[in-house]
Every structure is written in C-alpha cells, then in structure tokens.
Amino acid sequence: MYKNSIRNILYPLFLAVAVVGGILIGKLSSRNGFETRRSIAPAANNKLSYTLNLIDRLYVDSVNLDSLAEKVLPKLVEELDPHSVYIPAQQYADANETLDGEFDGIGVVFNMATDTVIVLNVISGGPSDKAGVKAGDRIIEVDDTVVAGRKMNQDAVVKMLRGKRGSSVKLGIQRQGVEQLVPVTVVRDVIPIKSLDAAFMIAPHIGYLKLSAFSKNSHTEIAAALEQMRQEGMMGLIFDLRGNSGGFLDQAIRIADEFLPADKLIVYTEDKYKRRQQQYSSGQGRYADIGLTVLIDEGSASSSEILAGAIQDNDRGTVIGRRSFGKGLVQEQIPFGDGSALRLTVARYYTPTGRSIQKPYSKGVEEYNRDLLNRFSHNEMFSADSIRFADSLRFTTPGGKVVYGGGGIMPDIFLPLDTTNMSPYFMEVSGRNILYKYTIDYADRHRAQLDAVENVADLKALLDADTNLLDDFVAYAAARGVRPDPAGITRSRELMLAQLRAYIGRNTKLEDVGFYSNIYPVDDVIVKAIEVLESEENTPAAAE
C-alpha cells in the first residue's frame, strides 16, 4: 500500500537517503529563542533527503507529505530540462492516452462549434454504432443532464461520455426529421486511437501518409497502409510528419527500417556515462525501393526528427518543409506506487551522421518555450536565409550533402509559410468560425449523399457536381454579418474552396482521408513533394 510518507515518491529520485545524510541528534541548546539540534551536517548532494527526513520526523505540526510531494516534484523536475516532467496520478491516463492507442468511451467524433454536441462521425463497429447513433445526430442530454445550449466546456462533455468499459450512458439525441428526442443507451467499450490520420493515393503512383503521433501501434498501422497502397500501384511516398510531436522511440526505428537497406545506422543514444546504443536497419524493410519524401515543420519533434534524420543522413529521400522543433532528449517513464509517474530524460539521441539536434535550454523553460515565437519574429517561417548554423555543427552525409545539428532538422528543400491567399475576408469568415459552421450545416442538408460516399473518388464526384458551393457559402456568411468582398473572395477563392471541401469530406466515413484528399491542392509543401517524386532526379534507383 502507498503510505502517507514522501519516501515512496521522492526517495527513488535520490539514492542518498537519511542513512547516508545522517540524523545524528546531539544535545539541545537554546539561543535567541530557538532550540538548536546538533547533528552531523549532510553532504551537499544529500541536503534534500536530509531536510525531508527532518520534516517527516521533527516538524511540530502534522504535514500531509503526499500533498507536499505533489507541490515539490513538479518544481524539482522543472529545473532539469524542458522535457522531464512529473505526472500526477489524476493526469496519468490522459497523459498516456495517445501513446497507449486506446481509451474507454462511446466511439463518436463530435464537435461543439454551435454550443451543441454534433456527431461528425461514428466509429464503425464501435459502441455508438451498435446502439444506433448516426452521423449528424445532436446529443442534447447525457444521463438526463442537458448539455446543449449551456456553453459547456468540451472537456467536461468528454468526461461525461467516457467511462469504464462495460458501463452504460443514456443519451437524448435530436435527429433530423424526428420531433421528439431519441433515447439511446450506449455501453462503453475500448476505443482504439489511430495515430495514422490518413493514407491514400494522392496522385498516380504516389501514396500519402499523415502520422499524428508515434504510438505503440504506429508501425502496425503504417505497415498495413503501405501494403494497401502498394497494391494500388504506389511507387513513391509522401510521409507527412508535420505537427507530429513524437512518441515511442522504438516505433520511429521500426518505421525507418521499412525504408532503408540493410546495415544503415538509424539512430544512436548516449546516456550520462557515454554508454552508446546503436540501432541499425535490418534489411527486412519492404519499401527501400520506393521514392520517398518526408514533410516536417516546427511542430515535428522527437521521434519525427529521428525518422527524418535517418532518411536525410542516409541520403534515402528528400526532406521538405521548415526546420523541425529540435528535441534530441530521450525520456524514460518511471511509475510510482500511487499511480503517478516521472518522465525523466535519461539520454540524448544522435542522427546517423552524429548530429544532436536538441536546441539549447540553458536559459530556462520560459525562454525555451518562446523559441517558436522567436523564430516567427526573426522571419524564419518566411525565409531560409534568416537561419544561421555554426560551422562547428556542420556534418556531411555519405552522399556529400551538408547537414547541421544543434536545433532541429533543416529540410533539404525549405518552403516558407504562404499567406498570399489570406485576404481580410477569409480571415474574418475563418476567425469567426463561419466557414467551419457552414460545412456542418451543409452536411446536415446533404446527409444522405455524404453517407453514401465510400471512397475518395465518390467524394470528389459529389463535390465537383456542386458548382454553387462557394456562392452558397458567401450567402451564408452574409446572413451572419460578413459583407461580400469581391476582391477578397477572388484572392482567397482556391483556399476557401479547398477548406470547404476538406471539412465537408471530414463529415463522411472517410474522416481525415476526406479532409487531406481535398486540402492538398493549396498545400505548397505537398505540391512540391509530388513534384519531387515525379521528377527523374528522385527515382528509386537514384535514391539507393
């Protein structure tokens, strides 16, 4: 059992405990109103454990040491590095959910953009699907509590809908064409979280993968998607890691192994004792023969950088986008007896050429967290010329390509943020969420047609047939106070059409595939990746 003592939490962090620090009590003497207890002074590195023992044994008032530990540990760990973190027991499940790849719930994707829980999609074969919940339904009541029209926090609604598998939740559903609320009882069950957002053929012979995190199931998901696309004629791949903040190191290694020939160094780590662990490709990967591009940006971190670095340093493919985040520290998660845990940085990782891509953190967490803002203010998002690397951080790949360490992966092809098509009209309809709300309204009005969509071709045919889509949206926005701006609409026409089609596509059973298959024409990074893969310079033979 977990005792009411700080020892069970803090002492694993400090090997020098009171036995070494010593509480050797001598005589008491009085001076200036204080009692002085003579003892052997602890060594400097034992001061913390020594002080904790004093509080535990001698402090005059009762102290809830569990509560004290919860306050001390976050501040203690914060002094180490930006990525070591203490996870309280009540936050443990949420902190690990994405990486674990599952949670207990009812199996719906919903949004509350209109202060009502709108079901966008129902997970096929999941609890809600079995109970009869449909896309387009509005959840008005949860266990007899009204959740619509109350400006409830979305997290609060999520908490009401989730629960232990096997438990049930009663929903009151408003359904189009039905006057009364439809009562539905859903028995909660395990819901898988897919780290692979989308996988589809984006162009003839070119596949597209969008990975949101490196969870424990990522390699399995990707292997299945790659096999499917190969059967569809894939000869080149766009691997989109933008916004992917990382996850399990072993998943990045296994995924990189799929694209590398045998005996290529993928990554190595070094701990404080300079003990090195090296990971090489097995030669069992099935996709070392395809053209490859990897997309990164300032949101790509950790395992994303390991994968991108392995591809870049082995001259295996082309990295495109903007400089990645710059996290080269490896954490180990150490559980405590009360359900809390410590994620402690235990090593640094290095790319195959020997690069450490960890950006500096010596100025503290606050300055570290301002790095991306500083990049923006220094114009880095718009110009590669604003990025400077020290010569001491210069490395060369086996193919002669110059790469740099010390702060993220610099792409082979830099593409800046593109704001040229963002007119004031677009910024208003987007900023006020009018564009997104329109797509929900559109889905309601075309629910039967959208439910009939089975693949990307079906979705394209449906949306292509609606030649009045943009005009209908402009009228919708005007009815909500946004006056039409012909010049602004012309400037942002392609961007707005792509977003309208993408959000509508996400309201089908295709989910994120419906989104990405429609948004990519206005995504300069994806367009460039297609161009690179279609060029003669990036044939599989040249990449080997």
Q: Tokens 């893969």 map to which residue? A: 533
Domain covering 102-192, topology: Pdz3 Domain (2.30.42)
What is the reported pTM?
0.84
The residues near 153 (Cβ < 8 Å, ≥ 6 apart) are none
Give the model's confidence band at 4: pLDDT under 50 very low, under 70 low, under 90 confident, else very high.
Answer: very low
Residue 351 CB neighbour total at 10 angstroms: 27
Rg over CA atoms, the chain? 28
Q: Check pLDDT > 80 for residue 30.
A: no
**Dihedral sign (CA 196, 201, 202, 206):** positive
Q: What pLDDT, on a 0 to 100 scale, did the predictor assign at position 179?
A: 84
Q: What is the pLDDT of residues 263-295, one digit of tens each?
A: 999 999 999 999 999 999 999 999 999 999 999
- In 3-state terms, what secondary structure has residue 349? strand
Measured over the CA atoms of residue 494, residue 497, residue 503 and residue 507, the dihedral's sign is negative
Range with the poorest average pLDDT among 46-60, 167-181, 313-327, 400-414: 46-60
Q: How many CB atoms lie within 10 A of CB 496?
A: 25
pLDDT confidence tier of residue 183, bands split at 50, 70 and 90: very high
CATH 3.90.226.10 placement within the chain: 211-224+243-334+342-417
List, by residue range, all CATH 2.30.42.10 domains of the chain: 102-192
Both tokens of 468, joined, read 């009045």
Q: What angle do CA 460, 466, 470 make, to 5 degrees?
A: 105
User: Which 3 state secondary structure label does DSSP give 29?
Assistant: strand
Q: What local confidence, expressed as pLDDT, does residue 36 receive? A: 57
The DSSP code for 508 is S
Query: Looking at domain 211-224+243-334+342-417, which of 3.90.226.10, 3.30.1370.60, 1.10.287.70, 1.10.132.50 is its CATH number?
Result: 3.90.226.10
- Please report the pLDDT score of residue 43 as a whole number: 59
Mean pLDDT for the chain? 87
Q: What is the pLDDT of residues 300-332, one digit of tens each?
A: 999 999 999 999 999 999 999 999 999 999 999
Residue 102 pLDDT level (bands cut at 50, 70, 90): confident
Residue 20 has pLDDT above 70, yes or no: no
